């Protein structure tokens, strides 16, 4: 997996992962479902072992199912204390699913912009 700042990281089916230009992390483009979960999981795994906060820009995420949301929540739980998984430009439905299913998740921050 390439490090942030180097362009397209990977693609699988309907999901592309590219480095986010304005922050340390990645941008998810397309859809996360069972067929693309492996790519999301690989991206999250590569960031879990790092340092600092892990950022994902979701502004171009067209769809995410419950397995994808669960992967995000599990990644946040696995981060070392003091680190966060910061989800930027979160689709309203994803925000609602997290609130209803998990409430407040330690290590997970949902940001509007």
Domains in the chain: boundaries = 8-111
Query: Is the pLDDT score of 3 beyond 60?
Result: no
Q: Give me the CATH topology for the region 8-111.
A: Transcription Regulator spoIIAA (3.30.750)
Query: Is the pLDDT score of 8 beyond 70?
Result: no
d(CA 32, CA 37): 6
User: What is the reported pTM?
Assistant: 0.89
pLDDT in tens, 44-82: 999 998 889 999 999 999 999 999 999 999 999 999 999
Q: Which pLDDT does position 21 carry in this prediction?
A: 75
Please tell me the least confidently modeled range out of 8-22, 31-45, 52-66, 74-88. Answer: 8-22
């Amino acid at each position: 997996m390439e490090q942030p700042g180097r362009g397209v990281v990977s693609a699988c089916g309907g999901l592309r992962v590219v480095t986010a230009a304005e922050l340390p992390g990645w941008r998810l483009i397309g859809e996360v479902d069972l067929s693309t979960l492996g790519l999301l999981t690989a991206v999250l795994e590569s960031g879990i072992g790092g340092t600092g906060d892990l950022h994902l820009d979701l502004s171009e995420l067209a769809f995410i199912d419950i397995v994808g949301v669960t992967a995000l929540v599990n990644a946040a739980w696995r981060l070392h204390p003091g680190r966060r998984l910061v989800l930027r430009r979160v689709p309203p439905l994803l925000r609602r699913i997290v609130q209803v299913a998990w409430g407040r998740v330690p290590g997970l921050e949902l940001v509007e912009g």
